[in-house]
Structure formats: C-alpha cells, structure tokens
Structure 1
Amino acid sequence: MIATPPLTKSSDTLFAVQYLRAAAALAVVFYHVSALSQETWGLDPERVDHVGAAGVDLFFVISGFIMAMIVGRPGRFDVRDFWIRRVARVVPAYWVITLLVFVLAWTLPSLFNSTVASLHNLFVSLSFVALEQSDGNTGPLLVVGWTLNYEMAFYVLVAVTAGLFSDRRLLAASAVIIAVVVTGIVAHPANLTLEFYTNPILLEFVFGILVYHAWKWGGGRELGGRRLASIAIFALGIILLVGQWERPLQDWRPFFWGVPAMAVLYGGLGVLTFTSPFLARLGYWSYALYITHVFVVTLYIKHIMSAIAPISLPWQAHYLIMTGAALAVAAGFYTLVERPLSRLTLAWLRRPRALSVAEPSHGA
C-alpha cells in the first residue's frame, strides 16, 4: 500500500490511479468486516466479499506502475530525493498508528487476540523489516502493516537499481524479484523472513511495471480508438475478480488476483478518464483508510453492535455505517495527521540539502 499526496502537474490526468486506490482500500475494508464478522459470530465472509482481500493485490500492481512512472520520467533521477519522498509519505503516519497499537496493547491487552506489546515487536514493526518477533511470526503490530514491509523492500530495490545502476526501465528490479520468487518456490525456506521475502506476491510489483510500459507504449493518455479495448480489458478484470469471490487466500494469489488486477489497472487507465473531485479525494484518503479502518471495524463489530443488538438492521446497513465511519476517521487522520506530518518530514529531510546545494529536483 502506497501513500500519495494530491496529484502533481506531471500526472494530473491519471485520476484512474486515485479512483482505483480508493476502490482497493474499500475492498480491504469490506474484507476485514467479513473476516471479523466470521471470527465474532461464525458468519461466512466468503458469501459476500472474500475477494476484497484482492484490494492488496491491486495496491501492489498500482505501486509497481507508479514507481516505474516516477523512475521513467525524463531528466536525472535523484535517488536521494526519491527516497526522501517515499519516507515522508509512508513512515510518519504508519509510525503514529503503530505506536497507538503498542500503547493500546500494553495498557488494554484484552482488546487484542494475539498482539504482543513488547519493545522488540515495536522496534521490528517500526523498522519495516519482516523479522521474526517474540510471538513467532513476522507480522508487525499493525495487522495490515505487512504490506508496508513489502512496499519498503520494493522501494529499496528501485532506489538501488535505478539510482546506482541507472536502470530507468526497472528491468533489473524485475529480474531480481522474479529470481527471489523462483528461489522461494524451489527452496521452500524454513526461515520466516526468507519465506516472506520470496513470496510470489512480489510478482505483482512486476505486473505494475509491465502495465506502465504497455500503457506508455500505447501512447499513455492518448487512447484514441483503443477506448473499446480498454473498456473490455477493464470489464474482464472486474469479472475475473468478482467471479472468484469465494477463492481463499493462497500462495498463487498473484495469478488469481494479481493478473485480474493488472487488467483492472490497464483498462482503468483508458476508462476512468473523467474528473471527479470526490473520488479523487477518496484516493487521497486511501492510505489513511487502509491503516486506520481496522480500529473502526473492530470497535463497531465487537463493541457497538452488541449495544444495538435489540435494533434489527440488515447487514447492508451495518456495512454502510462502518464504511461511513471508516471514511470519516480516514479523512480526519489524513487532514490532521498524515498530510501535516508528511509535509513536515519532507521539509526536515530536505533541509541539509537546501543549505548546502541549490539544484533542481527531479524526484516524484
């Protein structure tokens, strides 16, 4: 999952990316609503939106696309500015939420099922590295934070291959990802960290890179007569995802969910060309929604619903209430925490450079 500020001048026509980020975040919200409902009452999430977990796969494909677009821009690639921007966008908001989880797990452990509030787990979580923790897994304190560990690893790979070896097409980065995934499939590493970083889900970053190059080769924003093809590809991707909503999570999710996500992104770039400030704003909130929605969903299902049990409501009403509450919290977090902290961090990290060197930046 990648955090993104308002669209820049160089990419202000890619509203499709913002809309699809919003859709991916909402899909993950609905999946966790169903999963927690099953955990709490024994309800079956596969009936409604098990495939909502594929929102993560769409996020990874989008991330690969965006990194390829950033690195492929004309001009000198400034690896330092690239890394500063990645850190400023992702780290501050995530650290705030991680520290909140730690404090809650430390003071009110009854709120959690398996989260262990140890300093070791906290430091590992803040590091964005999937190391084995005291509870025997590689998952960070924030349950959805495992995706950020993959994102950070991908950013490091992009920075190294593009910054040090001038791999502006990310061919070397793609080759490294494919190689480690093949190694994992063949070797079946017992070490949890090696197992994590050789998971086939990494291929979805490569899928996003492929989508970027196909989109660029096809003329980018100038779709012309290819609009019908874009509509067909977009619809096919959605059908493939919705048609397998009962498929459980598995090792080959890049094939079953990543490939349809490719189709959704590639087709969406040609279909979702309209301007909607509301949908774009949902896209801006997508990172905040992703890292905060678990609090809202858990609070509502485990505590609020028990208080309103005498009131008979259809499940659609509960979904609507939770979605509205999650979006409200995300909007507040984005406005009051994520965006201000991101700007402050960006200014702070750039300060030494501004004092010593005056040169234009070609970063994202």
Structure 2
Amino acid sequence: MTTETGAPLRHQNRALTSIRGIMALWVVGHHLQFGLSVGGYDYAAWLFGPGYVGVDVFFVLSGFVITAVHRDMTSSSTGDFFIRRIFRIYPLHWFVLAIILAIWVRQQWIEGLPLVTDHLASLPIVALLLQPYLLHEPNWNVASWSIGVEMLCYLLFPLAILVLRRMTLVVSLAALVIAVLYERHTHSEMVWGWPAIARGLSGFALGMMVQQMTLLFPRPRTRLATSLELAAVGLMAVTVLLRHLALFPIPAALLIYALAAERGVLSRALSGPVWYWLGQISFSVYLLHPTVIALFSGLMPPKRLLAALGLTLGQGLTALVWTVLVIGTLLTLASLTWRLIEDPARRCGIRLARRLG
C-alpha cells in the first residue's frame, strides 16, 4: 500500500485519499483480532475479521491513481516516475524497520539470548522489499509485503500504460471484464509467493481499467454518482456480511469509479478534513500498526485474570478500552512519521526528479 497525496495533479480527489485511510483502519482492525485473542477476547470479529481485504482495495486504488497521475508517461519521464516512487516508499519503510530491529535487539539483550543469525539474514531481503518473492513466512514487518508487490506493479507500469493508451473502447471493456474475473480468481490471504503477487497484480490492473472507464464514459451527474456510491457501499456490506470476500474488491472498484466523479453525496462527505487527514497518514498507519499492536499486546490483561480478581468491566469493555488506546497511539505516531519522514522524503524525491530531469 502507498499514498499519492503529493501527486502532480491539478486537482486532488480528497474522497479517494479518505477511502485509503478507512481501508487502512480496517486492516488495523483485522490485526487487532490477534492481540485481542491473546487476552482471551473476541471483540467485533464479524466486522474486523474480513479487514484483510482492505489491502486488495489498496492495490485497486493505487492502480487507479497512478494511472491518472502518470497516464502521459513517456520514455524520458520514466526515471522521474521511479525516483518519486522510491522516495515515496523506502524512507518510511526503512525507518519503521529500524525501529523493529532496535526493539528486537533490546529484547534479545534483556532476555540474554544470542542474536539469531538466521533471522538477521532475512533483514536485507525485507529492507529491499523482496520478501514476497524470496521468503515463505511473515518476517520483520509483516505489513511491508504489500509494498514489495506494489514495487513490481510500478516496474511493469511503464509498459502497461503504453498498452492501455492504445486500447479501443471494445478492447477496454473486454479488458475490464477480464480484470474483474481475475480479481475474484486471485482472492487470497497469502502474503508471500505467487498468491500474494497475483493479489497485487490483479488489483492494480483492475484499478488501471477503472481509470480507463472514467475517460471513455462521461462523468455521472450528481444523482447517478450518488446512486452508484450508495449501491457500491451496499454491495461491499453484503459481501462482508455473507462472507463472499472474494467479491469485495469489485464493488470497491465501482465505488472508486463513482467517487472519481466528485459529484455524489458520499464524495462530498469523504472530502471533509478529518477523513482527508486519515487518508494522508494512512501509509504510516499501515506500516506502523503491527509494531504498535505487538507492543500493546503485552499490556492486555487476560480475561481470566480479571475474573479471578473480581474485576468485571462489562462484556467487551476492556477490549474496547484497549482498542481505543492502540488506535489513539497509532494515529498519533502516524501523524508524526508523516510529518517528519513521509512528507519530507516525498518532497525530496520530487526535487531530485526535477533536477535530474
């Protein structure tokens, strides 16, 4: 997952940025389930359990936005594209990885254990974001697998955009149908190997084709845009309630198409400052959340201990308090890393690309 808040567009779609933030929190909720289970709690699993599909929506969003921003890419601007992508992803990734490494070394030192060289040997692979291709287990920052796959999407994008620009209406519609079917076919929770790679490629391709549709068909008017937004949200809810999660990215793609028109009621609502702020820091939220959850898991009082002490806070209240503390801490840290790491690195990449260009 990445954000494109600094994209060189004349106008930025705030609602699409906000959707990225909402999906990031849903992924956080999915991983919170593991922390809650350590303490013996089962809190809102029906809602947070399917949150892993938020990553698939990231891929669709990324394909859509990257295509919109860099549709006119030429051979001379390819270097500019890759420089911006590298500075957008790697600085924050390395910063979070350094924090995880420091925590791990401290734990080894406190427990008096020797450094596990096998574990350290995988660190360069993760640092280069090659773990989806070379490792076969979650390692270091488990969330970073998706940006490793996204880097592959970026590598293929210059060729893909050349093909996309030459597509006729009929070919584009056929490609959209294929992208929808392939997205459903590649549904998986895997975070390494071909299943993980296919998740990223199919979602990114679907996003590219949705962006193509916004150019081939006129923007829907206000009533139609609102109807499409509400229909898409309704279908997304149905796929979650019925656990047909393989279908979730498809109505999500419809929602992206509707929000791109910037005319519907939901688009206006999601353009508010709070939602937009959440979207801006979503990349930091995504990369930081496994570490924050892991640190807080040790502070979660086991349910059986509370019962033995006669401390009953009501069903789910302890889990709710713990969840609020985790998310509050996460959003605070993400705001800081966005301001101190993400945004400066992004601006540095833009300046460097302009100088070299």
TM-score by length of 1: 0.75
1:317-336 paired onto structure 2 within 5 Å: 317-336=321-340
1:41-60 paired onto structure 2 within 5 Å: 41=40, 43=42, 46-60=45-59
Q: C-alpha separation between the residues in 2 aligned to 1:260 and 1:61?
A: 11
Aligned residue type for 1:127 = L
Q: 2:247 aligns with which of 253, 256, 275?
A: 256
Equivalence for 1:217: 216
1:86-235 paired onto structure 2 within 5 Å: 86-109=85-108, 118-129=119-130, 130-133=132-135, 137=136, 139-162=138-161, 166-167=162-163, 169=165, 193-194=193-194, 196-197=196-197, 199-220=198-219, 223-224=220-221, 227-235=222-230
Q: Retained in 2: the 8 A contact 1:61–1:206? A: yes
Aligned residue type for 2:256 = L
Aligned residue type for 2:52 = A
Aligned residue type for 1:283 = G
Q: Retained in 1: the 8 A contact 2:40–2:302? A: no
Q: C-alpha separation between the residues in 2 aligned to 1:161 and 1:106?
A: 42
CA displacement at 1:348 relative to structure 2: 4.8
Equivalence for 1:239: 234
Aligned residue type for 1:276 = G
Q: CA-atom RMSD, angstroms? A: 3.7
Q: C-alpha separation between the residues in 2 aligned to 1:193 and 1:319?
A: 32
Instruction: Select the structure that is richer in helix.
Output: 2
Aligned residue type for 1:266 = Y
Aligned residue type for 1:131 = Y
Q: 1:266 aligns with which of 257, 264, 274?
A: 257
| Percent identity over paired residues | 20
Q: Retained in 1: the 8 A contact 2:18–2:276? A: yes
Aligned residue type for 2:340 = L
CA displacement at 1:61 relative to structure 2: 0.8
Q: C-alpha separation between the residues in 1 aligned to 2:335 and 2:117?
A: 29
Gaps of 5+ in 1: 187-191, 355-364
CA displacement at 1:15 relative to structure 2: 1.1
Equivalence for 2:189: none
Q: C-alpha separation between the residues in 2 aligned to 1:125 and 1:108?
A: 20
SS in 2 for 1:48: helix
**Post-superposition CA distance 1:79-132 (Å, at most 9, x none):** 010111111111110111122223322332599xxx987332111111222233
Q: Retained in 1: the 8 A contact 2:36–2:319? A: no
CA displacement at 1:279 relative to structure 2: 2.1
